[in-house]
Amino acid sequence: MSTTDRQLRVGMVGYAFMGAAHSQAWRTVNRVYDLPARARMALICGRDAGKVADAADRLGWEAHTTNWRDLIARDDIDVVDVCTPGDSHAEIALAALAAGKHVLCEKPLANTVTEARAMAAAAATAQAAGVRSMCGFNYRRVPAVTMMRQLVADGRLGVIRHVRATYLQDWIVDPQFPLVWRLQRDKAGSGALGDIGAHIIDLTQFVTGQRITGVSAITETFVKERPLPAGSSGLAATVDGAGPVDGHGAVDGHGPATGTVTVDDAAVFVARLDGGSLATYEASRFATGRKNALRVEINGSLGTVAFDLERLNELEFYDATRPAAEQGFTRILVTEGEHPYMSAWWPPGHIIGYEHSFTHQMRDFIEAVATGADPTPSFADALQVQLVLDAVTRSAELGSSWTEVEPALATVAA
């Protein structure tokens, strides 16, 4: 589709789930959208030479390397796409920005506020030199979510009173699920809170145009010890190839070694937003049966809009301004040409999927970089999400707003 000869040569670090999702988007974006530059999948980087060679072949990258510093040092790389666990986001992104590379960094931006502040500051400095950066909160770019934002911005909901967001998964309900990097604070920063809670924090702020100003939170780690992954070896065990964990008990053939889960399995918090809304958030990896269930409902003085990722082509919309006899939730099928992003895809009614949000993300990134604009969400936007994550963690640790319920008197047995 793209008629331009201008190329953006991309170097991607990481090749697991997000590396695959980003690769699909880099492969597709210029075939679907007519953009002022073409993404070239120049180089993929990963620690394991064999695995990254396989990934290059499978995902469509021209070359591969095991050294991200070499990737950043090359003058034939324009964009660095960071798809690694959170503990390396800052180091890689800071080096890339310093080298004048445009950066797309997966969410959450970092594992700590300190890292996120440094990244946001470096991005601001680089921006002055025309270097662009963006954080990969991809759900903003589901057409129905962008439409939610438009409905709110157009005043169709009136004054926003409630924000209600849940993101529920169940992939670690089995206590025998091993201690992978996402369950280690030093690798992931936090658990469900930063991994999937970050999405609903960003998404609700994006949709409402409001920012969270305060939270009261509780978190829980339901399963506190887990088997080390196969191939781990005692105290120096590596987990999922992501680095050492403090495994307990050497693997000496007498039962599997285990390690301590150092992150939350679930986080629940209430929040106030700066536009006066009250909000509730729930992020859990123990919602048995919920595989990747992100739901958001916004209640306003004039109406309600609701989104369910499992029905991502649809919005539920309640317009309280309609004649009483006609009021009710309508189902908007967000596949018309005038809907966000949809003109490039199929005729109305031909639905799209999860992976399209990444293609939309790359579309907007390429267009911004090629036209000298700043893509969103910026590192500053992502820093604000990190500040919310930090506030939730501190609130849960302090337990300051927690009020015990007076135990009921012993009830008479039924």
Distant-in-sequence, close-in-space partners of 202: CB < 8 Å, separation ≥ 6: 107, 137, 139, 140, 377, 381, 382, 385
Smallest distance, Å, CB 348 to ligand SOE?
A: 26
**284 phi/psi in degrees, rounded to 5:** -145, 145
Smallest distance, Å, CB 195 to ligand SOE?
A: 5
CA–CA dist 235, 252 (Å, integer):
11
CA–CA dist 237, 229 (Å, integer):
8
**Nearer CB in complex with ligand SOE: 304/384:** 384
Rule CB under 6 A: which of 151-170 touch ligand SOE? 169
Contact 270, 216 (CB under 8 A): yes
Query: How many residues lie near ligand SOE (CB under 6 A)?
Result: 5
> Per-residue string for binding with ligand SOE, 245-264, x by CB under 6 A?
--------------------
Q: Would you count residue 17 as binding ligand SOE (CB under 6 A)? A: yes
**Nearer CB in complex with ligand SOE: 81/195:** 195
Smallest distance, Å, CB 307 to ligand SOE?
A: 15
Q: Tell me how many degrees the CA angle 382-85-165 measures, rounded to the nearest 5.
A: 50
Which residues are registered as beta bridge partners of 9?
Answer: 40
Which residues are registered as beta bridge partners of 69?
Answer: none
Q: Would you count residue 346 as binding ligand SOE (CB under 6 A)? A: no
Q: How many residues does the chain have?
A: 414
Contact 36, 367 (CB under 8 A): yes
**Nearer CB in complex with ligand SOE: 90/151:** 90
CA–CA dist 61, 210 (Å, integer):
39
> Per-residue string for binding with ligand SOE, 274-313, x by CB under 6 A?
------------------x---------------------
Smallest distance, Å, CB 357 to ligand SOE?
A: 9
Smallest distance, Å, CB 131 to ligand SOE?
A: 25
**Nearer CB in complex with ligand SOE: 25/160:** 25
Which residues are registered as beta bridge partners of 316?
Answer: 306, 331
CA–CA dist 375, 347 (Å, integer):
28
Smallest distance, Å, CB 184 to ligand SOE?
A: 14
**Nearer CB in complex with ligand SOE: 17/346:** 17
**Nearer CB in complex with ligand SOE: 17/402:** 17
Rule CB under 6 A: which of 191-210 touch ligand SOE? 195-196
Helix, strand, coil: what percent of the chain each, to 5? 35, 25, 40
Smallest distance, Å, CB 222 to ligand SOE?
A: 17
Residue with the shortest CB distance to ligand SOE: 195
Q: Which helix (H) or strand (E) holds 67?
A: none
- Give the CA dihedral 46, 50, 54, 55, nearest 10 degrees: -10
Smallest distance, Å, CB 43 to ligand SOE?
A: 23
**Nearer CB in complex with ligand SOE: 97/196:** 196
Rule CB under 6 A: which of 77-106 touch ligand SOE? none
Burial of 85 (0-12, 13-18, 19+ CB in 10 A): buried
3-state secondary structure of 24: helix
Contact 213, 272 (CB under 8 A): yes
Smallest distance, Å, CB 272 to ligand SOE?
A: 26
> Per-residue string for binding with ligand SOE, 118-157, x by CB under 6 A?
----------------------------------------
> Where do contacts with ligand SOE occur on this chain (CB under 6 A)?
17, 169, 195-196, 292
